[in-house]
A = this chain, B = another copy of it.
Amino acid sequence: MASADQESSEQAGFDGARARMRLRVPSVAERVAEELRYQLAEGFLVPGSKLTEATIAEDLGVSRNTVREAFAELAAERLLLRQPNKGVYVATLEAGDIHDVYTVRRAIEVSSIRAGGSPERIAAVRAAVDEGKRAAAVNDNEGLGSANQHFHGAIVALAESNRLDTIMAQILAEMRLYFHKATMNAHFYSDWLAENEQICAALEAGHLEEAGDLLLAYLNRSEQQQTAIHGD
């Protein structure tokens, strides 16, 4: 997702008329990266475990060189850790990294929401909130989780910055990798809904300062929770 979108010049306010064609066939290396990303997000590859080039190459039926290219891509996204002459390992988040990740989130999320956004972008935030409500209604824990990620992604999208979007996407991928389904019990999601609703409402009402404060408070609390669980 990082190197996939190179339409930085493609402004958002484009007429739907001249819709871009995008029938590009992703390269093999990209598909390998995509597959690995999927397996990482799904938890098939546990943090810290080693990925051997030859094995993966054979499993996916591609050349070792191609696997290497995919590794490079994922290493650049911090999903894999490359240790020279030793191998690549699934990234692990240490105690310090949790703070690190939340520092980034505070910077870009709060800044994005404080600057407001176009009505369409705000509507996208609202949509994510609703998505969460629907998931909660049917007790879909997994759906609840991704709805929350959509919510925070939509907040960053308010800023209409491609770079912030990809940064956020990477951070979310990192969190998916580490705070995996297994580690998140239902009680985590308890407060989200109400809080997201509150933030979204403030945003819609144009109370940007308040929205920012609420979001900041949420992030701080969330960091505390995570640190408490993944001990340090």
Report which A residues bind B (CB closer than 8 A).
2-3, 6, 8-9, 11, 24, 27, 65, 68-69, 72-73, 75-78, 81-84, 94, 96-97, 99-101, 103-104, 106-108, 110-112, 159-164, 167, 171
Contact = CB atoms under 8 A, between A and B. Distances in A.
A81 B9 contact: no
A3 B10 CA distance: 28
A6 B103 contact: no
Contact of A76 (B2, B103, B108, B167): B2
Nearest to A11: B96
A111 B100 contact: no
A190 to B, nearest CB: 28
How many identical chains are in the complex? 2
Given A6-B82, A8-B94, A9-B94, A103 B73 contact: no
Contact of A6 (B65, B81, B108, B111): B81
Given A111-B106, A111-B107, A111-B111, A8 B96 contact: yes
